[in-house]
Amino acid sequence: MSTADETSAAAIDRAVTAGEREGRETRVAEVSRTYPTTPEDLWDAVTRAERIGRWFSPVTGDLSLGGEYQIEGNASGTITDCDPPRSFSATWEFGGGVSWITVTVAPDGDGARLGLEHVAEVPEGPDDFWDTYGPGAVGVGWDLGLHGLSLHLAHPEAERVIEDEESWVRSDEGRAFVTASSAAWAEASVRFGTDRESALAAGARTTGFYLGE
């Protein structure tokens, strides 16, 4: 892995926690990263559709409180809470399931820190998806988003910071990033309490999934 890849992957803090929502047990994937910009600029980058499309995916709809959104080729949902320029929450509806995200922006030294929590209910009965892929199933995707955001903030004039994400993921740089991200999420799973062997095996399967192997 190049120094740039190591720096980018290592810049993200990750955690897995347990929670509860409306009486149901949940698992929470948490990511955060500090960027060399102002909180106002970071908030604008993660809430204005024109800028979101430059580093994440094109988004349509109403990005105000109560509005419904659609991310191209990804999730849709409803904005359920908004406290600009500090936080917003939304449903994350994908593949027939519903989970929830909360995004926060706060000053951090000379920069600004982005935090994201992705909350999902623990299914009743065996959790085959978690056992197979662990938190990296969603975590690697968010890591890729935070990496894209860092590129956008460094090059805000670029129409798209990564023109073809699928091709980039399969490049040497992308493969290195995904591999490091999966490994980091496996370690977060171990800290959560998952058996190390199982966590590492799930991380390896996540890497294979994202790399198409």
Q: Which helix (H) or strand (E) holds 17?
A: strand 13-21
Structural domain for 173, as ranges: 3-211
177-186 pLDDT, tens digit each: 999 999 999 9
Number of structural domains, the chain?
A: 1
- The per-residue pLDDT for range 84-136, each reduced to its tens digit, is 999 999 999 999 999 999 999 999 999 999 999 999 999 877 778 899 999 99
pLDDT at 145 over 50: yes
* Chain mean pLDDT for the chain: 93
What CA–CA distance (Å, rounded) separates 211 from 206? Answer: 9
Give the side-chain half-sphere CA count within 13 A for 43: 14
Closest CA to 21 of 89, 74, 103: 89
Token readout for 70 is 């659609």
Measured CA to CA, the distance from residue 178 to residue 174 in angstroms comes to 6
* Residue among 64, 25, 52 nearest 160 (CA): 52
Q: Which residues contact 64 (CB under 8 A, 6 or more apart)?
A: 79, 82
The CATH number assigned to the domain holding 64 equals: 3.30.530.20
The answer to whether 185 and 146 have CB atoms below 8 angstroms apart is no
